[in-house]
Amino acid sequence: MSSIDARAARCADIETEEIKSVEHRIRAYIRRTPVMELNAQDFRLGDFRLILKLESLQYAGSFKTRGAFANLCLRDIPSAGIAAASGGNHGAAVAYAAMTLRVPAKIFVPRISSHAKIQRIRDCGADLVITGDCYAEALTASEDWVRVSGALPIHAFDQRETLLGQGTLALEFEQQAPMLTSVLASVGGGGLIAGMAAWYKNRINVIGVEPEGAPTMTKAFEAGAPVDAEASGIAADSLAPRRIGEQVFPIASRYVSSVYLVSDDDIRVAQRTLWDSLRIVSEPGGAAAFACLLSGKYKPAAGDQVGVVISGGNTVAVNFDLQEKRTNT
């Protein structure tokens, strides 16, 4: 059995009953985020049912809070506390979970992290280190710190507890929208899409959406294993970790139906549409899945029931009209 086949065999460890158990453990600490049903024809998308899952309203501003609490509730925390590397959202989620459970936390983020995400981490009282030009460099710094400090590393996506926590989003979404035929979610390191796919297990189509500048899962599927990919674009602070996780890949390869790529312009249009039409604030990475529909990259069939995860809202770009007015004056 190859190493990839062995990892695929181990993905059976993430069962729906286990995700249910984790959801019970973290329920007191997470928000049951709302869903919003839209008329797809209002956006000229076709005749299908469209339901948004507003995880941008989660505590700390993204779905990452689920995985953060799963780690802290399921693992033994040393006196040295915890450490995490992040483009921003995972760091904010871990800092929030650490503050809630009164655990020391040291968070490493790269210089590309947005001001909104950095401020969230600071507001939670974590020890913040801004280092490196990308997530991979911040991860290396955090690993160095773990070796010398004895802190517990909380990985953003390639950690079993993280995957279990993200799987609770799918559990919750199915309770709220049980008749979905497909669900779209953004992909960076793959923790969200793998956690959701582990819950649905091919009962519906689980579709990943990546920026063209960070095609981590696309490259992995082409190569048959996680490989380095580009790490750039408008959503680089949330969807550009260089490669998907080793624990993510076997789950995704078995249960993710397909992966689509969207451009930075597609994402900008989706952000603007969410704000103009619905007054929903989304960061670029959070709008990627919706961008896949708006751009026509993914075209549901008539009668389909399509779920879209708005995965994060940590951005300062809220009032587009005001921003443009200030730019023009």
pLDDT of 5: 46
Query: Which residues, 6 or more positions from 55, have their beta carbon under 8 angstroms from its beta carbon?
Result: 33, 62, 63, 169, 286, 309, 310, 311, 312
**Burial class of residue 99 (count of CB atoms within 10 Å of its CB; 0-12, 13-18, 19+):** middle
HEC sequence for 122-155: HHCCCEEEECCCCHHHHHHHHHHHHHHHCCEECC
pLDDT of 241: 87
Helix (H, G, I), strand (E, B) or coil at 47: coil
Q: Token match 């550009």: residue?
A: 240
Domains located in the chain, CATH noted: 3-62+159-321 (3.40.50.1100), 64-153 (3.40.50.1100)
Helix (H, G, I), strand (E, B) or coil at 309: strand
pLDDT of 4: 43
Measure the CA–CA gap between 233 and 214, rounded to whole angstroms: 7
Phi, psi at 176, each rounded to 5°: -80, -30
Instruction: Describe the chain by its helix, strand, coil percentages, rounded to 5.
Output: 50, 15, 35
pLDDT tens digit at each of 329 positions of the chain: 344 444 444 444 699 999 999 999 999 999 999 999 999 998 999 999 999 999 999 999 999 999 999 999 999 999 999 999 998 899 999 999 999 999 999 999 999 898 889 999 999 999 999 999 988 899 999 999 999 999 999 999 999 999 999 999 999 999 999 999 999 999 999 999 999 999 999 999 999 999 999 999 999 999 999 999 988 999 888 888 889 999 999 999 999 999 999 999 999 999 999 999 999 999 999 999 999 999 999 999 999 999 999 999 998 755 545 444 443 43
- Nearest C-alpha neighbor of 59 from the set 318, 319, 274, 312: 312
pLDDT of 309: 98
| Segment (H or E) for 275 | helix 264-278
Q: Token match 């710190």: residue?
A: 145
pLDDT of 267: 97
Q: Token match 């299908």: residue?
A: 48
Token pair of 90, please?
């995972």
Residues in the chain: 329
Positions of E strands within 23-103 = 35-39, 49-54, 82-85
pLDDT of 49: 95
Measure the CA–CA gap between 279 and 281, rounded to whole angstroms: 6
* CA max distance for the chain: 65
DSSP tag of 57? G
Positions of E strands within 180-304 = 182-186, 205-211, 256-262
- pTM for the model stands at 0.91
* Residue 122 one-letter amino acid: R
Phi, psi at 72, each rounded to 5°: -70, -30
